[in-house]
A and B are shown apart, each in its own frame.
Chain A
Amino acid sequence: MAKIIAARLLRLLATLFAVTFISFMMTKALPGDPAVAILGQDGIQNEELLLELRAELGLDEPIPVQYVTWLGNAVRGDLGESYINRGQSVAGTIGQRFPVTLQLALMAIIIALLLAIPIGVIGAYRQGKWQDQASSAGVQVALSVPNFVTGIFLIWLFAVKLEWLPASNWNRISDKGVIANLKTAILPATALALTQMAIFSRLVRSDMIATLQENFILSARAKGLSDRFILFRHALRPSSLSVATLVGINFGALLGGTVIIETLFAIPGLGFRLINAISQRDILVIQGITVFIATGYVIINTVVDLFYSVLDPRIRRS
């Protein structure tokens, strides 16, 4: 086990190196000059000022040198400063925004799994019967409705009609406590969760149908165990490998991809900030957030890989 983890960590480092390099190069490939973006009209007219700023930002160095400098600082936790909001450190921005996005993504995944597992299991157990058809239809709807539409519907129902929850905004746990925080988090998280739920439940259902054909399910039945016990204690775990993979991938995707929902609910998340930075050519912020999200993605998938061996003990050996 320790050997597996060591090998994975080594691979993780290599991946992270590639990720930072590629994202650095991609921001370099963006059209437009950050110095011009910062100085605006003045820069275009004043060549001297422009060159001075470029030198200050290190933009006059060759690109490989820029990368090494940036990487050296990044390893020490210094991701630079925003070009637009001078004095605002990129690391600080991430530190402030990331917990919000992380909470949203986590809640979305948990809600999705809590719904998807029973739905998938029932669909497989009652394959072809009305329970399966009803849940398949529901899943199809959840899959085809974009999450911002779900979000608007949830706001209309729970904020406007029922007035149970606030329509938008975000309460930080540190400021307002857990309950107030959950009140603002539950609607956007649910809006994100429904699409995930649809995908997860389909995977659980199809894997479960295959598992239920296995001999060990027949032998469990021949022992007189209850159907519920067989489904959840025998069939579910061997049927959850594909869904675990997808949870990892989608969780990573949610970390950077909740922009629409963050905008809709006015949530100060990471994705929201990233889009802002892109429209402002705020290169260091873009780089910082991209690398941060990519790193998170890689780490999550490493954790999922290790989690396989928890799900299936046969993997521990090989």
Chain B
Amino acid sequence: MTDVGTDSDRLTRAEHNEPLLEVIDLKTHFQVEGGIVKAVDGVSFTLDRGKTLGIVGESGSGKTVLSRSIMRLITAPNVITHGEVRYDGRDLVTKSSREMKAYWGVEMAMVFQDPMTSLNPVVKVGRQMTEHIRHHLGVSKSEARATAIELLKSVRIPEPEVRIDNYPHEMSGGMRQRVCIAIALACGPKMLFADEPTTALDVTVQHQILNLLRQQQKDRFMTMIMVTHDLGVVAGRTDEIAVMYAGKVVEKAPTNQLFADMRHPYTQALLWSIPKVSQPKHTRLNAIAGRPPDLISPPSGCSFSPRCPYAQEKCHIEEPPLTAGAAPGHQFACWYPVGSPENEAAWERNLAAGVPQTLAAAGKLTATEELLETINLADDTSDHEGAGA
């Protein structure tokens, strides 16, 4: 068993309420034909015990690679990792896969995006739930099975004694994701990663799974990182949100602060892209203009500048640093932050000049308040779910 820290040492850290996770200038680059893909390019944050961080961004923003890098699950031979991941005071980046096995499952666990493929199709659910319990905790087969049944109960799977002998294909998608959550919880991890846990599920089931995750996180006092492309998912379910674009954090704030006063144009664009129930039927989806940047040779200056409706000349040349805003804990990387007079001036200039993405965005502005209202509705986290998802 690899050393994960002495108990007294860890107790002291916990007592002094030192953060469970500190990520310092983490870079995960992939060496590929044609260059280096900078999937994660200098991300830093700290996460306190029992808190939830939402990592938001569109496909290719590096959010999944970030969460897997923190857990050290990326072992491709062409990967280059820099920076530090301090988990409970210990740097994980320097650890080998062999050493990480003492952390995986026990200290940190992950719920993956697609429950249809993340369970082994030829192995009964029961064994998939008990194998790591037995491996890590050294308990007997029957004890592990009893634990697994308890876990299935706690994730609200009906008839757990029957379901435990099912194969994954005998369960629905929602039920499988519950099983995946139960598997992640099995060894009592302190840190839970949820990588787009609801993206592959029906809308009706998404809500239940998200509430289940939140409930379990609170009950077990876990620290959680929730990765999603959907701002609606993290609203009301996280303490803090980091918005990622092109491998970098472009805005980070406590959740309420972010929704009350978002400063980065990309965050704003993400919010606008959520379709709203109150919109008339057949309203065009507010897709963000342009495409995610090429991570091998990202645009110069701010990497969002080619798609940004407020972009000025400076944005194309100089990369804005992540700087603190007025509110505590609020950081953003923008030369013309949303809500500033400079931003408004930039908007007017671009509109007058007929910049295409600005014109495209112009149709959206009026609906902002309405959108925020809908987000608040999604914030309703009371647990009405039925068990047979």
Is A49's beta carbon under 8 Å from chain B? no
Known: A238-B120, A238-B121. A219 touches B169 (CB 8 A): no
Once bound together, how far apart are the Cα atoms of A317 and B117, in whole Å?
A: 18
Pick from B106-114, B201-209, B258-266, B338-346 the stretch touching chain A: B106-114
* Chain B residues positioned under 8 Å from A226 (CB to CB): 101, 135
Interface size range on B against A = 20 to 34
* Chain A residues positioned under 8 Å from B316 (CB to CB): none
Which residue of the partner chain, among A128, A215, A238, A314, contacts B167 with CB atoms under 8 Å? A314
Nearest CB to that of A220 among chain B residues? B120
- Which of B114, B122, B135, B180: most chain A Cβ within 10 A? B122
Which residue of the partner chain, among A216, A221, A222, A317, contacts B120 with CB atoms under 8 Å? A216
Q: How many residues of A are counted as interface, with CB atoms below 8 angstroms from the partner's CB atoms?
A: 23
Is B126's beta carbon under 8 Å from chain A? no
Nearest CB to that of B169 among chain A residues? A314
B98-139 residues with Cβ-Cβ distance < 8 A to A are 100-106, 109-110, 112, 114, 117-123, 131-132, 135-136
* Chain B residues positioned under 8 Å from A311 (CB to CB): 122
Once bound together, how far apart are the Cα atoms of A221 and B102, in whole Å?
A: 11
* Chain B residues positioned under 8 Å from A313 (CB to CB): 121-122, 167, 169
Is B47's beta carbon under 8 Å from chain A? no
Once bound together, how far apart are the Cα atoms of A116 and B349, in whole Å?
A: 70
Is A61's beta carbon under 8 Å from chain B? no
Query: Is the pair A234, B123 in contact by a Cβ cutoff of 8 Å?
Result: yes
Once bound together, how far apart are the Cα atoms of A233 and B130, in whole Å?
A: 13
Which residue of the partner chain, among B103, B112, B119, contacts A224 with CB atoms under 8 Å? B103
* Chain A residues positioned under 8 Å from B77 (CB to CB): 128
Known: A223-B109, A224-B101, A229-B131. A215 touches B122 (CB 8 A): no
* Chain B residues positioned under 8 Å from A314 (CB to CB): 121-122, 167, 169
Is A312's beta carbon under 8 Å from chain B? yes
* Chain B residues positioned under 8 Å from A233 (CB to CB): 123, 131
Is B317's beta carbon under 8 Å from chain A? no
Which residue of the partner chain, among B119, B123, B132, B169, contacts A317 with CB atoms under 8 Å? B169
Is B226's beta carbon under 8 Å from chain A? no
Is B327's beta carbon under 8 Å from chain A? no
Once bound together, how far apart are the Cα atoms of A202 and B79, in whole Å?
A: 28
Is A237's beta carbon under 8 Å from chain B? yes
Once bound together, how far apart are the Cα atoms of A234 and B110, in whole Å?
A: 18
Query: Is the pair A224, B105 in contact by a Cβ cutoff of 8 Å?
Result: yes
A69-94 residues with Cβ-Cβ distance < 8 A to B are none
Is A218's beta carbon under 8 Å from chain B? yes
Is A214's beta carbon under 8 Å from chain B? yes
B328 to chain A, nearest CB (A): 34
B117 to chain A, nearest CB (A): 4
Nearest CB to that of A312 among chain B residues? B122
B98 to chain A, nearest CB (A): 9
Query: Is the pair B117, A215 in contact by a Cβ cutoff of 8 Å?
Result: yes
Is B71's beta carbon under 8 Å from chain A? yes
Once bound together, how far apart are the Cα atoms of A258 and B121, in whole Å?
A: 38
Which residue of the partner chain, among B102, B105, B121, contacts A223 with CB atoms under 8 Å? B105
13 pairs, A vs B, C-beta closer than 8 Å:
A128-B77, A215-B112, A215-B117, A218-B112, A223-B131, A223-B183, A224-B103, A225-B131, A234-B123, A238-B120, A313-B121, A313-B122, A314-B121
Query: Considering the complex of A and B, which 8 residue pairs feature the smallest CB-CB distances, nearest first?
Result: A224-B104, A224-B105, A223-B132, A215-B117, A223-B105, A216-B120, A219-B118, A215-B118
| Chain A contacts to B: CB under 8 angstroms | 128, 214-216, 218-226, 229, 233-234, 237-238, 311-314, 317
Besides A218-B73, A222-B109, A226-B135, 5 other A-B contacts (C-beta < 8 A): A219-B112, A223-B105, A224-B136, A312-B121, A314-B169
